[in-house]
Amino acid sequence: MSTEADTGLVVRAAGGALWRPADDGTVETAVVHRPRYDDWSLPKGKLDAGEHALTAAVREVTEETGLGVVAGRRSLRTEYALPVGAKRVDYWLMRVVGGEFVANQEVDRLRWLPLPEAAALVTHEADRAVLADLGRTDVPRAPTLLLVRHGRAGDKSRWEGHDDLRPLDSKGRRQARRLAEVLPLFGPTEVFTVPRTRCRQTVEPLAERLGLPVQDLPELGEQEFAADPQAGLAVVNRLLSPRGTPGVSVVCSQGGAIPSVLLSLGVGRPGVAARLHPPAAKGSVWALGGRPGELAADYYRDFEADPDAPESAPGSAPVQAGRTGSAFGSQG
């Protein structure tokens, strides 16, 4: 007779490694005490039905701590055995930007500590691995550029007007609305688009939600980048440059430009001699931070429901982070 463990039951959860600058130039992190388990851990919780892991991570952190956070670099995935099956937890690094802790049923204490003290206090070895990732200095903790591929825009061969004017179709408009729901978690401060109707329509709902203008950025258009890639890369390097105050730029571009930009930055498949073009599906997002050689590159195929969340519809939530060119791929 088979058990749930035999069938590979996986409970999906997500959480965050919180951080804030310390007076000495290092960072502090927050760990929480859960009275139900009498342990010290990182805030996390299970995905709701139809929920993406990133939105679940921010929701659970906010519910457990009362703190306002901005999502940063994708961190580690941990997995451990349950009495039946296993629990898989995806973590993001999260900068704390406000709020105040109030004890609740899930968490009765929260402590801000330097990373070494936090690592010594937490109960579970998996949390120490996530804290070690938070302490990395070779890649930034947060992106400064979200590179978005426009949503679906129908069949090009059936569009009778100028291709620059081809609009989003019904699925593309749904993708744009979903991006407007999720991308604010990264704390965008400016929104750009290449001069194509489908690109502008992809980020207009986001800009409206944020109260920001949509600014033209022609250098990263498909034709413009092919004609003058150095001008396009100069723009990308400017947007990746360290900033005096935290902020993320959103740029909507096209499938003929985004992979070329990524290859120029050194993002490629690990272990493959001939560098293959990185993926850039319609409606997808690359979250980039740092410079070539010290670049964090997270790929989000979409932000639909996680396929392993309870009772969720089929979807995919591919995300990856690492040094330049070290990893990217698809989960789900």
Q: What is the pTM of this model?
A: 0.89
* Gyration radius of the chain over CA positions: 20
Residue 306's pLDDT is 66
| Structure confidence at residue 308 (pLDDT) | 55
pLDDT at position 2 is: 38
The pLDDT value recorded for residue 187 is: 97
pLDDT score recorded for residue 158: 85
Residue pLDDT tens, the chain, 332 long: 334 444 578 999 999 999 999 999 899 999 999 999 999 999 999 999 889 999 999 999 999 999 999 999 999 999 988 888 999 999 999 999 999 999 999 999 999 999 999 999 999 999 999 999 999 999 999 999 999 999 999 988 888 888 899 999 999 999 999 999 999 999 999 999 999 999 999 999 999 999 999 999 999 999 999 999 999 999 999 999 988 888 999 999 999 999 999 999 999 755 444 457 799 999 999 999 998 889 999 999 999 876 555 543 223 333 333 333 333 433 22
pLDDT for the residue numbered 326: 33
For the chain, domains (ranges, CATH) are: 10-134 (3.90.79.10), 145-300 (3.40.50.1240)
b/e sequence 3-36, b meaning 16+ C-beta within 10 Å: eeeeeeeebbbbbbbbbeeeeeeebbbbbbbbee
- As a whole number of angstroms, the distance between CA 327 and CA 246 comes to 25
Predicted local distance difference test score (pLDDT) of residue 8 = 73
Burial of 248 (0-12, 13-18, 19+ CB in 10 A): buried
Residue 77's SS3 state is strand
